[in-house]
Amino acid sequence: MSTLITNIAELMTQDLEHRVLKDAAVVVEGERISWIGAAADAPAADDAVDLGGRAVLPGWVDSHTHLLFAGDRTAEFEARMAGESYAAGGIAVTMNATRATSDFDLTRLALGRVDEAVSQGTTYLETKTGYGLDVEHETRSARIASTVADQVTFLGAHLVPVGQDPEEYTELVCGPMLAAVRPFVQWADVFCEEGAFTAEQSRRVLLACRDAGLGLRVHGNQLGEGPGVQLAVELDAASVDHVNYLAAGDLDALVGTWTGWDASSGTGRRGTVATCLPACDLSTRQPLAPARALLDAGVQVALASNCNPGTSYTSSMAFCVATAVLQMRLSVHEAVRAATYGGALALHKDTGNDADGERAVGSIAVGHRADLHVLSAPSATHLAYRPGMPLTYAVWRAGKQAR
């Protein structure tokens, strides 16, 4: 079954050629994109959808979320807005609520959050464990997450539970906990920050996870200059996320990871993506991550929602894009690219076509997964021009219309 999607005023492909097509059309066949080009040249298809002069861009790729949780932390948010500083300890509040919630309700809550994200144009997302923090509950979170998200990250090293010895807990994460969650996860992450895990503890966790065959990510440099970025670079992590506080050496280290990458062809040695989380920065009143400086220096950047109950309870990637344009000095094209192709790059889903059985996400190209976000506007510029407005008109996710 093929569907011609036509009368597209602006098609922002975010492909390797950075094409923005006017008066365009797309043909979707099954889960894949089979043709793109000028509407006047479109081939026949089994069905047709006229978008009436609306804009189309790739579905958002949200590469950093924490969707598996229960409970409420509005009191913490109110206190922070009243002047209290953010610290990592609030995670324990969510841990207690999550542990007390049934499998059914935890799944229901997570699926509701996925539905919210999809309704706003997100078509591919990662989520993490990290609110169980013992073998039983981390395994449960990983199992449930594998049924609701596209990719799952093991974050047993989110916080040392109250009353536990940090060294003993680190060994638990590296041993029994890792072994138990391994069948359900593709990535490992660690909160390398003061009040969470030291550089040495973080390295032990990441090395154990790498030996187990997991890809690596790092929460780093959120609360101040620290070892997170350097550790991510040292261990060839796919991404380092937050990056609010970068010393000159941190920026240089990230730049160095991309020297073997050919951005025009998407080939060569991948570097470490810098994932910026602007909704979290606003909620914690941290300085916005230096996305402009990172891009100018040659670092690949992603934008993600960091949807979580304590510091960023939103899945609105459009909000992140608008913030990146209005406050982080990215162009609309750069911000959309970071929220689509950049997220795919951070999750190693930027490549793949019919030939290898894997379909890329985050860009619109023949052979890629048919993930499309249609705006109630003639161009993507309206995402920043009309911030906060509900501009999602329709969504195709893996070839099926989801909204």
Determine whether the annotation assigns residue 308 to a binding site: yes
Cα–Cα dist 298/217, whole Å: 20
Give the contacts of 320 (CB within 8 A, at least 6 positions apart). 277, 278, 279, 303, 304, 305, 335, 339
d(C-alpha 65, C-alpha 314), whole Å: 10
Tell me whether residue 121 is annotated as binding: no
Read off the amino acid at residue 288.
L
| 158 annotated ligand-binding residue | yes
Q: Is 92 helix (H, G, I), strand (E, B) or coil?
A: helix
Residue 226 annotated in ligand binding: no
Residue type, 392: T
Q: Is 64 annotated as a binding residue?
A: yes
What residues does 328 pair with on adjacent strands?
A: none
Token pair listed for 160: 């040392």
- Distance between CA atoms of 342 and 348, rounded to whole angstroms? 10
Other Cβ atoms less than 10 A from the Cβ of 142: the count is: 25
Question: Residue 124 annotated as binding?
Answer: no
DSSP string across 289-301? P-HHHHHHHT--E
Q: Do the beta carbons of residue 6 and residue 25 sit within 8 Å? A: yes
CA 123/CA 120 separation, integer angstroms: 9
- Consult the annotation and say whether 219 binds a ligand: yes
What is the DSSP secondary-structure string of 161-199? PTTS-HHHHHHHIIIIIHHHHGGG-SEEEEEESTTSB-H
Looking at the chain, the number of H-run helices and the number of E-run strands are: 15, 17
Q: Is 369 exposed, middle or buried (0-12, 13-18, 19+ CB in 10 A)?
A: buried
73 is in an annotated binding site: yes
Say if residue 221 carries a ligand binding annotation.
no
Residue 244 marked as a ligand binder? no
CA–CA distance, 188 with 196 (Å, rounded to integer): 16
CB 379 within 8 A of CB 55: yes
Question: 134: which 2 tokens?
Answer: 């013992």
Q: How far apart are the first and last CA of the chain?
A: 19
Residue recorded with tokens 């966790």: 205
- Give the SS3 label for residue 313: coil
Return binding residues for 4-imidazolone-5-propanoate: 73, 131, 158, 222, 311
Return binding residues for N-formimidoyl-L-glutamate: 131, 308, 310
Return binding residues for Fe(3+): 64, 66, 219, 306
Return binding residues: 64, 66, 73, 131, 158, 219, 222, 306, 308, 310-311
